[in-house]
Amino acid sequence: MGNSNTVSLPDLAATRALALRLANALRPGDTVFLTGDLGAGKTTFARTVIATLCGVDDAPSPTYTIIQTYDWGRGELWHADLYRIESPDELDELGLDDAFGDATMLIEWPDRLFGLIPDDRLEVQLEMAGESPGAAMDTPRRASLTGFGEWEARLDDI
């Protein structure tokens, strides 16, 4: 079922520190699912990974473009936000199936993959810890990390 651990994220710096540790553990072809409610910090988390690996300090959110791609010197990094995907046909047009295992993938809203789920993946669920007035970025959060396939053994590297 996967290897899991939970990390307390008392502030934005802690969230970025976790994303930095993940970035340093990523390999070409890795897939990371980022889940959580709106405002949970998925895009901020992904932007930290992108800044660390690709040197892009203000990566745009792929909310409307759906996918942003970057070169990190070890291949492509894809940042996908599938929030607006409504059918499996839309996924076919994006080429995600071909990218799995080749490009490094950061995928927000992976529940919209309609079963297109790689066996080897890391799932990072971000959630507010306690009250969340306005979902401010410095609201304490919690991250639950679950590794599947080869990520079961690699989870301890983060």
The CATH number assigned to the domain holding 13 equals 3.40.50.300
pLDDT at 158: 87
- Written as one letter, the residue type at 102 is D
Q: Are 155 and 122 in contact (CB under 8 A)?
A: yes
pLDDT at 39: 82
pLDDT at 133: 52
pLDDT at 92: 83
pLDDT at 1: 61
pLDDT at 40: 87
pLDDT at 126: 95
Provide the domain limits for residue 55. Answer: 3-157
pLDDT at 157: 83
Number of domains in the chain: 1
What pTM does this model have? Answer: 0.91
Mean pLDDT (10-residue bins), the chain, 158 residues:
84 93 96 92 93 92 91 94 91 85 94 92 90 63 94 90
pLDDT at 130: 67
